[in-house]
């Protein structure tokens, strides 16, 4: 059976990232949050755009005030008041000053700002009681950024700070990568939707909802295709449709060794290349990874990208663990994120609960990760850690990893924990 790490690298090698020309779209600034830049952004503006004041005070010529003191203040004539947003109208001559406020443009002639606490105003004159350093409290044009320099690079994920930068730079239209399209369907004769009556023996298709949420959280566009019965012709129809619409296909069930497990057979029939059948992971041993190395309708004329197919196990916990461990990095790479953001993201944590494993496969124990006094703590979900038990999966944000050969990690020991459920 394939070791987890090897499966991960095979999968990542199969992913061809989005093309910076053909896999992009233009979005308005207001719709750009959580998108990934495909083109470098430069601004036509300098930052700051004008020399401006960093203080409320007086704009002066340094030569006029350098020798002043409380005993012998410099006395200057106030020739203008410059609030923020106002363009100065007069230039400052010897013996003159302008009243100025934070962020307001420096007037021509002035080179220094004296904060108002070091001054006393008397009618239209100001007494400067103490001189600051020459050029104090002036934010120089272009001292933060010069027109034409790279402002934000391709691959940047747009969060609050980047949105602030783009807005300030008046970048109102952005070229971002399109979102990966991910087809999702569930296989099983036993499956019903959450709305249907639960007859004896039936199982509600929870995977469809879990995977839709997973894909949306990972920045993809879920294309839900519903339930597909364990019949070769139905499966063939569903897979054919999925690969013509999507970049990635996620199906659950039907990849084990049961009599109704037809997925691998149909994939082979349709010309897929199967790269992975089984991985030494628990939960989640049956995992089929295949590629369809031909053009689909969607990317015709947009270069060659094969569709990546994940045949995930049917058990709800196994399906999600496989998504977190294997699909997430593939989606991140495809999306145009830089390599350091592909994940998966592991942290070291102290476990507060004892952790057990059969020791034969790399074991992922679900539970909760939180920071306590700056140190991560992990608590395994209480109750059964069986892969069919999805009830105690709620609130999971970490999976403790027990390597092959480790059967017990006592409470208080340090373990590697895969962080899950949060976005790139």
Cβ contacts of 72 within 8 Å, gap of 6 or more: none
Estimate to the nearest angstrom the gap between the alpha carbon of 74 and the chain centroid.
Answer: 56
User: Does 82 interact with ligand AMP (rule: CB under 6 A)?
Assistant: no
Say if residue 133 is exposed, middle or buried (CB neighbours under 10 Å; 0-12, 13-18, 19+): exposed
Choose one: 44-52, 146-154, 272-280, 314-322; the region binding ligand AMP (CB under 6 A). 314-322
User: Does 83 interact with ligand AMP (rule: CB under 6 A)?
Assistant: no
User: Does 316 interact with Mg ion (rule: CB under 5 A)?
Assistant: no
In terms of DSSP bridges, do strands 362-372 and 281-282 run parallel, antiparallel, or are they unpaired? parallel
Choose one: 21-29, 80-88, 249-257, 409-417; the region binding ligand AMP (CB under 6 A). 249-257
Minimum CB separation from ligand AMP for residue 262, in Å?
10
Minimum CB separation from ligand AMP for residue 329, in Å?
23
Among 154, 188, 311, 343, binds Mg ion (CB under 5 A): 188
Minimum CB separation from ligand AMP for residue 315, in Å?
4
Q: Please give the residues from 206 up to 225 whose contact with ligand AMP meets the rule CB under 6 A.
A: 206-207
Minimum CB separation from Mg ion for residue 194, in Å?
18
Choose one: 64-72, 118-126, 205-213, 368-376; the region binding ligand AMP (CB under 6 A). 205-213
Q: Which sign does the torsion angle of CA 255, 282, 340, 13 carry?
A: negative
Minimum CB separation from ligand AMP for residue 144, in Å?
53
Choose one: 38-46, 79-87, 188-196, 303-311; the region binding ligand AMP (CB under 6 A). 188-196
Integer distance in angstroms from the first to the last C-alpha of the chain? 30
User: Does 194 interact with ligand AMP (rule: CB under 6 A)?
Assistant: no
Estimate to the nearest angstrom the gap between the alpha carbon of 131 and the chain centroid.
Answer: 48
Q: Which residue has the tokens 């970049």?
A: 247
User: Does 313 interact with Mg ion (rule: CB under 5 A)?
Assistant: no
Q: For residues 253 and 336, which CB has a smaller minimum distance to ligand AMP in the complex?
A: 253
Q: Please give the residues from 219 up to 258 whose contact with Mg ion meets the rule CB under 5 A.
A: 253-254
Please choose, from the candidates 181, 226, 233, the residue with its C-alpha nearest in 3D space to the C-alpha of residue 208: 226
Peptide bond into 281 cis (omega under 30): no
Q: For residues 162 and 205, which CB has a smaller minimum distance to ligand AMP in the complex?
A: 205
Q: For residues 254 and 343, which CB has a smaller minimum distance to Mg ion in the complex?
A: 254
Please choose which of Mg ion, ligand AMP, none residue 66 contacts, taking the beta carbon within 5 to 8 angstroms, the exact cut-off set by kind: none
Q: Which residues here bind ligand AMP, judged by CB under 6 A?
A: 186, 188, 190-191, 203, 205-207, 252-254, 256, 258, 313-316
């Amino acid at each position: 059976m394939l070791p987890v790490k090897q499966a991960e690298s095979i999968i990542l090698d199969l992913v061809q990232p989005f093309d910076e020309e053909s896999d992009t779209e233009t979005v308005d600034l207001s719709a750009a949050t959580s998108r990934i830049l495909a083109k470098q952004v430069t601004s036509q503006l300098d930052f700051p755009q004008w020399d401006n004041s960093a203080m409320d005070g007086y704009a002066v010529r340094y030569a006029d005030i350098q020798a002043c003191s409380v005993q012998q203040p410099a006395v200057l004539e106030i020739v203008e008041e410059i609030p923020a947003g106002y363009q100065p109208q007069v230039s400052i001559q010897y013996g003159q000053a302008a009243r100025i406020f934070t962020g307001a443009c420096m007037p021509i002639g002035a080179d220094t700002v004296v904060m108002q606490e070091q001054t006393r105003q008397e009618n239209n004159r100001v007494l400067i009681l103490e001189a600051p350093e020459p050029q104090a409290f002036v934010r120089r044009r272009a001292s933060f950024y010069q027109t034409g320099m790279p402002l934000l690079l391709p691959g940047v994920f747009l969060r609050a700070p980047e949105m602030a930068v783009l807005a300030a730079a008046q970048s109102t239209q952005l070229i971002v990568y399109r979102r990966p399209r991910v087809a999702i369907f569930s296989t099983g004769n036993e499956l019903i939707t959450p709305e249907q009556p639960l007859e004896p023996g039936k199982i509600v298709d929870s995977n469809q909802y879990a995977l839709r949420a997973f894909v949306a959280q990972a920045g993809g566009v879920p294309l839900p295709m519903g339930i597909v019965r364990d019949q070769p012709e139905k499966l063939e129809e569903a897979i054919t449709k999925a690969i013509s619409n999507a970049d990635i296909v996620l199906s659950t069930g039907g990849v084990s060794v049961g009599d109704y497990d037809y997925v691998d057979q149909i994939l082979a029939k349709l010309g897929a290349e199967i790269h992975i059948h089984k991985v030494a992971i628990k939960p989640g041993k049956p995992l089929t990874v295949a590629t369809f190395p031909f053009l689909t309708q969607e990317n015709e004329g947009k270069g060659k990208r094969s569709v990546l197919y994940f045949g995930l196990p049917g058990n709800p916990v196994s399906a999600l663990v496989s998504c977190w461990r294997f699909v997430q990095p593939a989606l991140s790479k495809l999306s145009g994120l830089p390599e350091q953001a592909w994940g998966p993201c592991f942290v070291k944590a102290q476990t507060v609960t004892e952790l057990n494993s059969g020791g034969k496969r790399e074991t992922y124990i679900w539970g909760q990760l939180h920071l306590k006094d700056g140190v991560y703590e992990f608590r395994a979900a209480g109750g059964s850690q069986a892969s069919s038990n999805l009830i105690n999966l709620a609130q999971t944000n970490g999976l403790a990893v027990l390597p092959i050969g480790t059967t017990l990690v006592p409470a208080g020991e340090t373990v590697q924990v895969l962080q899950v459920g949060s976005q790139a």
